[in-house]
Amino acid sequence: MGYLTSVVGAPVLVAAIAILTEFFGPLLIITGAAMRLAAVLLAIHQLVALSTHWANGFFMNYFSKLAPGQEGFEYNLALIALSLGLFFTGPGAYALDAKFNLDFAGRLLGMKKTQPTVAN
């Protein structure tokens, strides 16, 4: 939290939300619980991170020629695309959202459920 509040300059509430999103977001996606919500929150988080790396250009620091924190926004853009892909495809048939009918964001936005498929 100290890094986000002192170096980045984020308010304490924003830093706490960022930390909670980074910790619980992947856990929710892995289990398939509130997956669409977690995917949107992670995309927003990476959008903010992208804005801090925008001035450094597109490419990452592949060969360690730049000082730490001088990487481009390539990785953040890939994570945003991944998160949005998860949001639009929704939870899988074996996710907790599908098992317990908990895909509130999907129902709110009128997105259809994922049905399990059987290979022949």
Instruction: Write down the pLDDT at residue 95.
Output: 83
Instruction: Write down the pLDDT at residue 113.
Output: 63
Instruction: Write down the pLDDT at residue 93.
Output: 78
Handedness of CA 21, 44, 73, 91 (dihedral sign): positive
Give me 117's structure tokens: 């498929």
DSSP 6: I
Instruction: Write down the pLDDT at residue 119.
Output: 58
Residues 70/61, Cβ–Cβ less than 8 Å: yes
> Which ranges of the chain have pLDDT less than 70?
66, 68-69, 107, 112-120
Instruction: Write down the pLDDT at residue 57.
Output: 79
The predicted model scores a pTM of 0.77
Instruction: Write down the pLDDT at residue 11.
Output: 86
